[in-house]
Amino acid sequence: MSKQIAIVSVINDLVSDQRVHRTAITLKHAGYEVLLVGRQRKASPELFPREYATHRMKLLYEKGPFFYAEYNIRLFFFLLLHKASLLVSNDLDTLLPNHLMHKLKNIPLVYDAHEYFTGVPELEHRPFVRKIWKLIERMIVPRLKNMVTVNDSMAELYQKEYGITPLVIRNIPLSIEETADPKPTRKDFNLPDDKRIILLQGAGININRGAEEAVLAMQYTSNALLLIIGDGDVLPTLKTMVSENDLQDKVSFIPRQSARTLAQYTSLADLGISLDKDTNINYRLSLPNKIFDYIKAGVPILASPLPEVKKIITRFNCGMLIENHDPQHIASCFNRMLDDPAFLQKCRTNAWQAAIFLDGEIEQRPLLNLFRQIKSPQLK
């Protein structure tokens, strides 16, 4: 019996997208041979071997409309020339070529919407570009048989707009295999032992995600280091702010890391932050990966009171919510939490208990069942 092949496509460079990695692992557990397709940027880190095949396309353009056009054309021909039993499209910017191939070759398609793409702030002041993406979304999404998204609020939005009820799979991390190596220490990562560590992590540290205010809050925060791990559009601005406000001893930047290394850094933090602003529908309804990463590591959380984030923080009592994004208010929250060891320990204990319920393997089971249901008719 021939192997069933699933081609999973995403527009990023595959290095730090934990959700796509989880999808690929789930497909393997469902019995598929997996090929994950993305792109390689000039500054992309090396992609270490995984349990499934990967392919990163090198493009002429790295951003802008020519980049999106080139990627979608290249992806179309890649899918045309490769056999597949299942297509998995991640986000709207990969959906069109996948949908065309779904129609041309009669291949089952699963669409995973990581966000409300047409509501992202990058399109807020680009109405023509947003109109194009919205047209693609309106043409395809109502016709989809299988759609997945990241939380209940996002699912309700798609259901209301397009009459489709997506399967909800939250961004809860899978277990990372333990090694025989000793647990890392701050010394291993050149982190200070005499300062409390406030961690902001993310692959999309962009405007209106609270990073600027967090940096400015360090002016009023005592005996602490803000550690920013990841990348994003606002990083150059943050580095300028650090320099202009003489915060070099209070703010440090580390490039994107592998999931395993990032988890090690996270385990060393005293406080994890997620401060997205309610400036657009995409941020308003978001439930960032980092929330679950902090919980899994037993790290207390300071977050903005977005609906899905607030539900997690209040249900499990594993942190605090800010009232506004004034840097002095954020700093007061930093100091209040860090100066109260009993409160921090209570949050840590609650986070570890929450991690028992927020189990990545359990969260993926409905997706595993979906993949098996799609696969089973082809095996009869």
Nearest to 171 by CA among 199, 151, 147: 151
Contact 331/220 with Cβ under 8 angstroms? Answer: yes
pLDDT score, position 379: 42
Percent of the chain with pLDDT over 90: 83
Q: Is a pLDDT exceeding 70 seen at residue 376? A: no
For 197-222, write each residue's pLDDT tens digit: 999 998 889 888 999 999 999 999 99
Q: Is a pLDDT exceeding 60 seen at residue 370? A: yes
For 36-74, write each residue's pLDDT tens digit: 999 998 888 888 889 999 999 999 999 899 999 999 999
Q: Is a pLDDT exceeding 80 seen at residue 175? A: no
pLDDT score, position 258: 83
Between 375 and 218, whose confidence is greater? 218
Q: Is a pLDDT exceeding 80 seen at residue 292? A: yes
Q: Kindly tell me the burial class for residue 172, based on how many C-beta atoms sit within 10 Å of its own C-beta (0-12, 13-18, 19 or more).
A: buried
Kindly give, in sequence order, each residue whose CB lies less than 8 Å from that of residue 228, ignoring residues fewer than 6 positions away.
Answer: 200, 201, 205, 211, 235, 238, 251, 252, 253, 254
Between 376 and 159, whose confidence is greater? 159
Residue 214 CA to residue 271 CA, distance in Å, equals 12
Q: Is a pLDDT exceeding 70 seen at residue 119? A: yes
Q: Is a pLDDT exceeding 60 seen at residue 134? A: yes
Counting every residue written for the chain, the total comes to 380
Per-residue pLDDT band for 180 (boundaries 50, 70, 90) equals: very low
Residue 228 CA to residue 294 CA, distance in Å, equals 14
For 343-368, write each residue's pLDDT tens digit: 999 999 999 999 999 999 999 999 99
Q: Which of 2-16, 69-83, 146-160, 331-345 has the lowest mean pLDDT?
A: 2-16
Average pLDDT of the chain to the nearest whole number = 93
Q: Is a pLDDT exceeding 50 seen at residue 1? A: no
For 328-343, write each residue's pLDDT tens digit: 999 999 999 999 999 9
Q: Give the DSSP H/E element, type plus range, for residue 146.
A: strand 146-149
Q: Which of 202-211, 228-237, 273-282 has the lowest mean pLDDT?
A: 202-211
Residue 228 CA to residue 205 CA, distance in Å, equals 9
The domains found in the chain, sorted by start residue, are 4-169+364-379 (3.40.50.2000), 187-357 (3.40.50.2000)
Residue 144 CA to residue 162 CA, distance in Å, equals 10
Task: Count Cβ atoms below 10 Å from residue 68 Cβ, excluding itself.
Answer: 17
* In 203-317, beta strands by DSSP E: 224-230, 251-254, 271-274, 301-303
pLDDT score, position 121: 81
Q: Is a pLDDT exceeding 80 seen at residue 181? A: no
User: 3-class secondary structure for 182-224?
Assistant: CCCCCHHHCCCCCCEEEEEEECCCCCCCCHHHHHHHHHHCCCE
